[in-house]
Chains A and B, each alone.
Chain A
Amino acid sequence: MINESRRGFMGKAFGAVAAVGAVGSLVAMKRSWDPLPSVMAAGFTTVDMSKLEENKLEIVKWQGKPIFLLKFAADMPAVEKRSVKVGEHYYSVMIGLCTHLGCIPAYSSANKQFKCACHGGEFNAAGIHTFGPPPRPLDIPPFAIKDENTIVLGESSPEYEALIASLSTDNNIA
Chain B
Amino acid sequence: MFSLIVGLVVAVVLLVVNIVLLKISFVPKELRILTIISIMVGYVYWGFEPFAHHEMHPHVAEASYEFDGKGDIEALEAQAKEIEAKGGDRSALDTEIAQTKEFWSNVVAISELSGNVETGSELVVANCTACHSIESEGFPKLMEDTDAAAAYGVTPPDLSLAGRIYDKNYLAAFIINPVKAMHIEHKYPVTGSKVFPMPGSDWMSNQEIADMVAYLQEVASKVDAPTVADGASDFEIAKAKNKEVFEAACVRCHSMEYAGIDAKTSAEAMREYIGATPPDLSQHIRSRGADYLHNFINDPQRKLPGTGMPRVGLTLEAEKQVVDYMEQIGDSKKQEREALGPIVLIYLTILAVFALLWKKQIWKKLH
Contact = CB atoms under 8 A, between A and B. Distances in A.
A and B touch in the complex (CB under 8 A): yes
Interface of A: 3, 6-7, 10-11, 13-14, 17-18, 20-21, 24
Interface stretch (B50-58, B78-86, B348-356): B348-356
A20 B361 contact: no
12 contacts: A7-B358, A7-B361, A10-B354, A10-B357, A10-B358, A11-B358, A11-B361, A14-B357, A14-B358, A17-B350, A21-B347, A21-B348
B354 A3 contact: no
Contacts of A13: 354, 357-358
B12 interface: no
Size category, B interface: 10 to 19
B229 interface: no
B362 interface: yes
B354 A14 contact: yes
A6 B361 CA distance: 8
A10 B351 CA distance: 12
Contacts of B365: 3
Contacts of B350: 17
Contacts of B364: 3
Interface centre among A6, A7, A10 (most CB of B within 10 A): A10
B359 to A, nearest CB: 9
Contacts of A7: 358, 361-362
B332 to A, nearest CB: 10
Interface of A, secondary structure class, is helix
Contacts of A10: 354, 357-358, 361
A6 B362 CA distance: 10
Nearest to A20: B347
Interface in B112-139: none
Contact of B347 (A6, A14, A24): A24
Contacts of A14: 351, 354-355, 357-358
Nearest to B350: A17
A43 B358 CA distance: 51
A97 B298 CA distance: 59
Nearest to B340: A28
A11 B354 CA distance: 8
A42 to B, nearest CB: 13
Contacts of B357: 10, 13-14
Contact of B351 (A3, A6, A11, A21): A21
List the 7 shortest-distance A-B pairs measured between CB atoms, nearest first: A10-B358, A14-B354, A14-B358, A7-B361, A10-B361, A17-B354, A17-B351
